[in-house]
Amino acid sequence: MGKRITIQLRGSANDEQHVRFAEFITELHALHTALMNAESIVARSSRSSLYFRVIDLTHASRASVVLEAIPRRSEHDLTADVVKTFFDGLRQIQESGQVSENFDRSILESYKALCAGLHKNVTEIRFSGDEYDIKIDWQLESRIDRLLGGDAIREGSIEGMLEAINLHNNANKFNLFPSAGPSKVVCHFHESMISDAINAIARYVYVAGQVKFKTREFFPHEIEVASMEVYPPEHELPTLASLRGVAPNATGDVDAVAFMRAVRHEAE
C-alpha cells in the first residue's frame, strides 16, 4: 500500500504559472491538517503516531512536492492506512458528494481548505498516489458545504480551557478546549467582554449563550457568548483537608457514621 502523496500546484498566467509563496504555504498547511485529521480517524486518537517528510521537490509546468508518511514506531505503523483514508475520503466526495459518517466536521473542513487557493491565484491543485490521481475542482467545496449542512442553534453552555484569543479587526473570538466532548469550540463575544476574556486566558471558564451544531455533529462547534464565568486557578481551589470541620452540624443530632449508613441504605 502506498505511503506517498504528491501535491502539484499551478499558478496563474499573470505569475507565469508560478505559485505565490504565501499560497504555497497555505496549501501545504491545509494538506497537513487534512492528513492529521485522517490519522485521527484511523488511530481513533489525537496523539500522532506518524509524521510526513519531504522526499522530492520539483518545478516544471507545476510546483510539485512529494511527501512520505513515516511511523514514529515501527511496531505501530498506520502510515498506509492514513494515506488511503485521506485519498478515499477525497475521492468519494469528488465522485459522489458522499462520505462515510466517520469523516467528521474537522476533516471535512480541512478538505474544504484545500480549495482555498482556487479563490486566489492557484489555477490547478492535484493530489496523487500509487492508486490515486485527484484534481481539485470548484465543486468539491460546494459538495462539502452540503455534507456539513446548516447550523442548528439553541441555548446552551460549555466549559473548558480558554486559549487563542483573537481581537484583530474586531474578530472578538477565542477558542475553548473542553475536557470532554468536542476538541474545540469557537466562542464569539461582545466587545464589552474583552477585558474579561483577556484575563481568562489559560484559565478554565464556563460560557453560556447560543450554541451552534452542524447536522453531522453531536457536539457544538461555535457559541455566541452571552455570559462567562472564570474559574479560579487550581492552586486556589480548596483541598479536601481544608474542608474538614467546615460544617460540624451538617448531620444534626445523628452520629456521622449512622448518617452515612442511612445514606447508603437509601441509595440501595
- The pLDDT tens digits for 2-28 are 899 999 999 999 999 999 999 999 999
CA nearest neighbour of 129 among 95, 99, 91, 92: 91
CA nearest neighbour of 116 among 9, 5, 4, 6: 9
pTM, two decimal places: 0.67
Same domain, 84 and 211: no
Domain hosting residue 66, numbered range? 4-148
Task: Let me know if residue 76 belongs to a domain.
Answer: yes
What whole-number distance in Å separates Cα of residue 34 and Cα of residue 77?
19
Residue 189 near residue 197, CB atoms below 8 Å: yes
Q: What is the CATH number of the domain that holds 225?
A: 2.40.50.140
Place 74 in a pLDDT band, splitting at 50, 70 and 90: confident
Same domain, 84 and 114: yes
Place 263 in a pLDDT band, splitting at 50, 70 and 90: low
* pLDDT at residue 259 in the model: 65
Same domain, 101 and 181: no
At residue 223, the 3 state secondary structure works out as: strand
Task: Compute the average pLDDT of residues 139-162.
Answer: 90
* pLDDT at residue 1 in the model: 62
Same domain, 15 and 142: yes
Same domain, 138 and 167: no
Same domain, 23 and 89: yes
Same domain, 101 and 227: no
- Among the candidates 108, 131, 148, a domain finishes at 148
Q: How far, rounded to the nearest angstrom, does the alpha carbon of residue 224 sit from its chain's CA centroid?
A: 18
Task: Let me know if residue 267 belongs to a domain.
Answer: no
Task: Let me know if residue 137 belongs to a domain.
Answer: yes
Same domain, 228 and 181: yes
Same domain, 114 and 49: yes
Whether 245 shows a pLDDT value over 80: the answer reads: no
Task: Let me know if residue 19 belongs to a domain.
Answer: yes
* pLDDT above 90 as % of the chain: 64
Task: Let me know if residue 170 belongs to a domain.
Answer: yes
Task: Let me know if residue 268 belongs to a domain.
Answer: no
- Among the candidates 148, 170, 192, a domain finishes at 148
Same domain, 22 and 117: yes
Cα torsion 87, 90, 95, 101: sign: positive
Other CB atoms within 10 A of residue 6 CB:
17
Same domain, 28 and 115: yes
**Phi/psi at 14 (5° precision):** -60, -30
Place 47 in a pLDDT band, splitting at 50, 70 and 90: confident
Domain count, the chain: 2
Torsion of CA 189, 195, 197, 200, to 10 degrees: -170
Place 265 in a pLDDT band, splitting at 50, 70 and 90: low
What whole-number distance in Å separates Cα of residue 108 and Cα of residue 250?
54
- Among the candidates 148, 176, 192, a domain finishes at 148
Same domain, 215 and 92: no
Task: Let me know if residue 263 belongs to a domain.
Answer: no
Task: Let me know if residue 266 belongs to a domain.
Answer: no
Place 242 in a pLDDT band, splitting at 50, 70 and 90: low
What whole-number distance in Å separates Cα of residue 81 and Cα of residue 3?
8
Low-confidence winner among 67-81, 92-106, 171-185, 227-241 (lowest mean pLDDT)? 227-241
